[in-house]
Structure 1
Amino acid sequence: MSMPAAADLPRHQMLIEGKWVDANGGEWFPTDNPFLGKPWAMIARGDNADVDRAIAAAAAAFRGPWRKMSASERGAILRRFGDLVAQNADRLGEIETRDNGKLITEMRGQLRYIPQWFYYFGGLADKIEGRVIPIDKPGVFNFTREEPIGVVAAITPWNSPLMLATWKLAPALAAGNTIVWKPSEFSSASALAFGELFEQAGFPPGVVNIVTGFGSEIGEALVTDPRVAKVAFTGGDATGEQVYGLAARGIKPVTLELGGKSANIVFDDADIPNAIRGVVSGIFAATGQTCIAGSRLLVQRSIHDQVVDGLLALARTAQMGDPLSDATQIGPVTTPGQYRKVLDYIDIARGEGASCVIGGAAATRPECGSGWFVEPTIFTDVKQSMRIAQEEVFGPVLAVIPFEDEEEAIGIANDTQFGLAAGVWTQSIRRALTASERLEAGTVWVNTYRAVSYMSPFGGYKRSGVGRENGMSAIRGYLQEKSVWIDLNGEAPNPFVMR
C-alpha cells in the first residue's frame, strides 16, 4: 500500500492563548490510522519554546480574566462546553477511532457521556466552600478558604484520549485553575478538535492551551517549569515514576493514574454465563488497551474448565476488523510499538511454560487489512511468578490462574505491584463485601466490570497511582486550603509568646 505524501495530509496546529499556531520550530509529525497502518494527518511538533508560550498564557489567564470571574460564571461556561461536546459527540468519536483504532461504538458512547463531567463539575464550581472553625483561642475569628492551585499540566494517554483528559480538565477548571494540556503524540487529533470548542463555549484565551509533540522532547520542560503548580498524568507506571520525580523537584502536587494488572475473580457460586461475559469485557473490550483491563482471570479450580471452555466459545465469535464499523468487536492495537510489545509478551509467556489455548499470534484475517491486529489470546497453566501475571501487557491477552479457596484468591490478587481495579463474581453478599474490603485496589466491581462515572472516585493503590479522579474527591485535588485568622480583641498580646 502506497504511503500518502505528508504534504497531502491535513495539518493540525496547537492551541495557545486562544490562537491556532504552528510549532515554534515549524516541524510536523504524522499520526497513524491503526486500521490502515499508515498516516492520516500531520500534527504540530512542539518544542520547549511552545511549552513556555503555553505556560505563560495559562499563568496570565489565571491571574486575569479566569480568576476574576465568579465561580457561577465559570460553571456556566463549563456547562456550555458540555453542550457543545454533546452536539459534536459523533464527529469527535469518529476522529478518535481514526486516530487510535478504538471501536466507533465505544467512542460514540464515551463522547456522548463526557458532557456529564462538565455538567457535574460545572455545577460544583460555585459550591466550593470554606468553613468557620470554632477555634479555641478567645477573641479570634478563624475560617478557611478553598482556592485554586494555579496552572495545571495535564498529560494524557492514547487509549481513551478525550475521556481521560476530561477527568482532569473538568474538575481543574471548575476549581478555578488554568490548563496546559499535552496529549499523547499518538492521539492528538481529537484533542485539537476538542480544543475548537473552548472558544465557542466562552473560555477566555489562555485558560486551556494544547501543546502537541513528543513527551521525550517537551515533557520535562512542562513538568518542571516553576509556573506549573500541579501535574495530572495518566499513563504507564514507568513514565509516571519519571513524572513524579520531576514534579518532586518543585515540590508540586500530582495526580497519577498509572498501570494495572487487575484480577477478575470468579468463584464457584457465580452466575457463570454472566461471569464469562464480564471476563471478556474486562480483557478483549478496547483490545485490552485499558489500564483497568482484567488481564488476570482467577477462577476457582472446581469450575476452571467450564469457565475456560465458555471463554473460548465466546472469544471465537469475536468480530475483528474496521473499528469504524458498528459490527466490529475487536479493533487494532493503536501503535506499532505496542503491537510488537504485545506479541513479545505472548512469546515470553510461551517461553515461561504457559499454554496458549486460543490466539497467540498477529491477526491475519482479511477483514483486518493492513492494521496492527492481535488475535484474542488466552493462556492457561499460568503461575503467579510469570511475567504475564505480573507485568502490564496492555493488549488482548488473558492469563488464567486457578485457585482453591477465597483466601488463596485474595492472596494471588494482591500479589502484584499494581492495585488499580479488581472484579469479583459471586452470588454471596458476604463474599462480595469481605472480598471488596480485602482487595488492594482502588476500584472493585462485583458482578460487573469496566463501569465508571463522573460521580465515583477513580484511582489506584500501590504503583497504580496517587490521588483520585472523578467525584468530589477529584475537585479537592485541584484546590488548596488557606486558614485565615482575624483578631477581634483590638489589643496585641505579648509579642514574645505564641498566641
Structure 2
Amino acid sequence: MLESLNSEFSIRNFVDGKFVEPASKAYLDDVGPATGSTIARVPDSDGRDVDAAVAAAWRAFPSWSRTPAEERSRLLLRLAELIERTSEECAQIESADNGKTVRLARSMDIPRAVTNFRFFATAILHDANEAHVTNDAALNYTLHQPLGVAGLISPWNLPLYLLTWKIAPAIASGNCCVAKPSELTPLTAHRLAELVREAGIPPGVVNIVHGLGPKVGDAITAHPRVPLISFTGGTATGAAVMRNAGPLFKKVSLELGGKNPNIIFADADLDEAVTTSIRSSFANQGEICLCGSRIFVERKAFDRFVDAFVAKTCALRVGDPSDDATDVGALVSAAHLAKVESYVALARSEGEVLAGGTRPSTLPEPLRDGFYLEPAVVRTDRTDCRVMQEEIFGPVVTVTPFDDEAQVVEWANGTRYGLSASLWTRDLDRAHRVASALRAGTVWVNTWLLRDLRVPFGGVGDSGVGREGGRESLRFFTEAKNVCVKIRA
C-alpha cells in the first residue's frame, strides 16, 4: 500500500466485509503533511453509507454476540498478530498520513494498536459477574450483554492507536461496530480493514465509513439504530455529539481536549524532569491530548529548569518524518499549522517567546510546502491569558514560576479542562496530597504517559464524560442485567 500513495490512489469504505465506493461517488484529498501534496483520495461518504454499514452490523450481530468468548478472543489475537507482522508498513503509512515521525509511529502507535487487541482478547476471558444471595430467599446475578452496534469516532492525532482502542473492546464484548476515522488520517484504518478480513473476523462485525464529521459523524451519532457512541476528539465536536445522542438516550463516552499542567517542585530530579518534560511537551508535535502544555516550576528552581529546557528544545531536530534522526515532524494540516501559529503570535503579546515558534528555514526542497513549526517555549505569569487557557494542540508550551503548593494547585485547576496532570517531587507525602487535589482524570508522579490498560481513563469538565480502559471499557460496551431467582424453601 505504501508504494501506491499518490493523488490517483483511492481507498474505499469497508462495509459487510467488502470494500465499496461511497454512495456519492465523491472523494476528498488526503494531503501528506510532510510535503503538502495529495497522497490518496478518501471517500466523501454520507448518511446513505452509514445506513448501509449499520444494517450490515445488525445483520452480523446475532451470530457475533453468540460467538463464544474464546472464539472472539482467538480472532482478536489473530488480528493483533497480523498488525504486528505488518508493523513497519503500518508505521510508514501512519507517518506519511499524519506527519508524525516514523520513529514514534514505530515505537508507540503501532505497538499500542497490537496491545489493544491483545489486552481485550484476554480480558474477556477473565471478566467476572457478580452474584448475591438475598436473605437465603433468592439468588441475584448480573449479566453484562452487548448492546448491538457501537458508533466509534476517532481523531487524527493517534489514528490507529485510538481507533483500535475503541474497536477492540467493542467487538470483544460481542458488539458489532461502525467506525469513522478522521478524514485527515484514514490510511491505517483502511489497512486495518484489510487485516480484519484476513484475520477471519466475520463480515459486518467491523465496518469503516470514511468522510467528514458533519456528514458521517453526525449520521452515526444521530442514528436511531446505534445505541452507544465512543468519541475522541475536540471539545466543541464532543458537544455536538451529545446534542445528537442525548434525545435518543444513547450511552456516550467522550474523551475530549486537555490543557494539562506539568508541575515541577524544587526538590525534584530536575535532569529527569527536564528530559521527560521535553517529551511531554513536544511528542507527536504536541498533538497528544495528554501533553503537558502548561509547565509550572517552583520559583527557586525556575531559572535552572528553564535554561535547560530551552536548550533541549532548541536542540530538537525538526524535519522529514521518515528520517529516523528527526525529533519533531510535521503538523497534520495547513489549517492546523495556521491555528498554532496564531497562538504563537498571541503569545508574543501575552508573554515572552523564549524559543521557537517559527517555520524552519533550512528544509530541503521536497519539504518546503510541508506543515512544520519549530517548538515554542513561552514565558508568562498570566495564568488567565488565552495561551494558558485554550487548547492549542501543537508544539507550544508555557513556563510559569510558582511560590507554594496552594498557589500551583489553584493555577493547575484553573481551566475548564481536566484530562491529566504531571507532578515532579521527591516528597511522597506531597505527591499524594497534590495528586488528590488536582482536578484531572489521570495524575502522573515523576513520569508521563506511563499507561496501564487496566485502569480507568478519561477526564473531567470539558475534557470528557465517562471512563474507558480495562473493566470500564467492558462495562461501557455492555448493558448490565440483573436476574433474580427465588430459592425454594
TM-score range, shorter chain: over 0.9
Rounded Cα–Cα distance in structure 2 between residues aligned with 1:53 and 1:440: 42
Which residue of structure 2 lines up, in the alignment, with residue 228 of structure 1? 226
Amino acid at match of 1:116: T
1:458·1:469 contact (CA, 8 Å) conserved in 2? yes
Counterpart of 1:25?
24
Tell me how far apart the structure 2 counterparts of residues 475 and 312 of structure 1 sit (CA, whole Å).
Answer: 43
Q: CA deviation at 1:363?
A: 2.6
CA deviation after TM superposition for structure 1 residue 489, in Å: 5.0
Give the TM-score of the pair, scaled to structure 2.
0.96
1:228-247 residue CA offsets vs partner (Å, 9 max, x unmatched): 01000000111011101211
1:466 — aligned with what?
465
Equivalent residue, structure 2, for 1:67? 65
SS in 1 for 2:358: coil
Report the 3-state secondary structure (helix = DSSP H, G, I; strand = E; otherwise coil) of the residue aligned with 2:443: strand
Equivalent residue number for residue 89 of structure 2: 91
| Separation (CA, whole Å) in 2 of partners of 1:441 and 1:46 | 36
State how far apart, in whole Å, the 1-side matches of 2:131 and 2:6 are. 62
- 1:149 equivalent in alignment to 2:147: yes
Q: Which residue of 2 aligns with 1:3?
A: none
Q: Give the 5 Å matches for 1:236-247.
A: 236-247=234-245
- What amino acid is the match of 1:483? N
1:300-342, CA deviations, whole angstroms, 9 ceiling, x for partnerless residues?
1111111111111101111111101100000111011111100
Contact 1:152–1:180, Cα closer than 8 Å, also in 2: yes
Deviations 1:182-232 (A, max 9, x none): 000100111111111111112110000000000012222111111101000
Instruction: Output the amino acid matched with 1:408.
Output: Q
Question: Root-mean-square deviation (CA), in Å?
Answer: 1.6
Query: Which residue pairs with 1:158 in the alignment?
Result: 156
User: Contact (CA 8 Å) 2:209, 2:216: kept in 1 or not?
Assistant: no
**TM alignment of 1:10-409, pairs within 5 A:** 10-63=9-62, 65-109=63-107, 110-136=109-135, 138=137, 140-351=138-349, 353-367=350-364, 368-409=367-408
Indicate conservation of the 8 Å contact 1:459/1:467, yes or no. Answer: yes
Write out per-residue CA displacement over residues 440-478 of structure 1, whole angstroms, 9 at most, x where no aligned residue. Answer: 111111111122233332211111111222222221111
Q: Is the 8 A contact 1:323 1:330 kept in 2?
A: yes
Q: Which amino acid aligns with 2:352?
A: S
Distance 2:390 2:294 in 1: 10
How far apart are 1:129 and its partner, in Å? 3.6
SS at match of 2:480: strand
For 1:80 and 1:454, how far apart are their aligned partners in 2?
20
For the residues of structure 2 that align with 1:347 and 1:8, how far apart are their CA atoms?
34
Deviation at 1:168, TM superposition (A): 0.9
The secondary structure found in structure 2 opposite 1:117 is helix
Amino acid at match of 2:169: P
2:445 aligned partner: 446
What do the CA deviations read for 1:36-82 (whole angstroms, capped 9, x no partner)?
A: 0111111111111000000111111112x212211111111111111
Identity across matched positions, percent: 37
Residues 456, 471 of structure 1: 8 Å contact kept = yes
In the aligned structure 1, how far is the partner of 2:342 from the partner of 2:22? 36
Q: For each residue in 1:238-296, what CA deviation from the matched residue of structure 2 results, as whole angstroms up to 9, or x when unmatched?
A: 10111012111110111111000000101110111111112111111111111011100
**Gaps (5+ residues) in structure 2?**
none
CA contact (8 A) 1:168 1:469 kept: no
- Letter of the structure 2 residue corresponding to residue 428 of structure 1: D
SS, match of residue 430 in structure 1: helix
Residues 150 and 177, structure 2, Cα contact 8 Å, conserved in 1: yes
Contact (CA 8 Å) 1:382, 1:399: kept in 2 or not? no
State the alpha-carbon separation in 1 of the partners of residues 457 and 223 from structure 2: 27
Deviations 1:404-463 (A, max 9, x none): 011111111011111111111111111111111111111111111122233332211111
Larger deviation: 152-161 or 211-220? Answer: 211-220
Equivalent residue letter for 1:68: R
Contact 1:128 1:146 in 2 (8 A): no
Determine if contact 1:13/1:21 at 8 Å carries over to the other structure.
Answer: yes
Structure 1 residue aligned with 2:419: 420
Deviation at 1:8, TM superposition (A): 5.0
Rg (Cα) greater in structure: 1
Q: Secondary structure at the match of 1:41?
A: strand
Q: Is the 8 A contact 1:356 1:377 kept in 2?
A: yes
> How many Å separate the matches in 2 of 1:346 and 1:487?
67
Residue by residue over 1:69-102, the C-alpha shift from the partner in whole angstroms, topping out at 9 and shown as x without a partner, is 1111111111111111110111111111000101
One-letter code aligned to 2:262: N
Distance (whole Å) between structure 2 residues aligned to residue 444 and residue 92 of structure 1: 31
CA distance in 2, matches of 1:316, 1:485: 65
Separation of aligned partners in 1, 2:306 and 2:128:
52
State the SS of the aligned residue for 1:418: coil
Gaps of 5+ in 1: 1-5, 491-499
Whole-Å separation in 1 of the counterparts to 2:368 and 2:210: 29
The amino acid of 1:422's aligned partner reads A
Following superposition, the deviation at residue 385 of structure 1 comes to: 0.7
User: Which residue identity is paired with 2:357?
Assistant: G
Secondary structure of the residue that 1:419 maps to in structure 2?
coil
TM-score by length of structure 1 reads: 0.94
Query: What is the number of residues matched between the two proteins?
Result: 482
2:351–2:379 CA contact under 8 A, matched in 1: yes
Bigger CA drift: 119-128 or 341-350?
119-128
- Tell me the CA shift for residue 7 of structure 1: 8.9
Instruction: Kindly provide the amino acid, as one letter, of the partner of residue 268 in structure 1.
Output: A
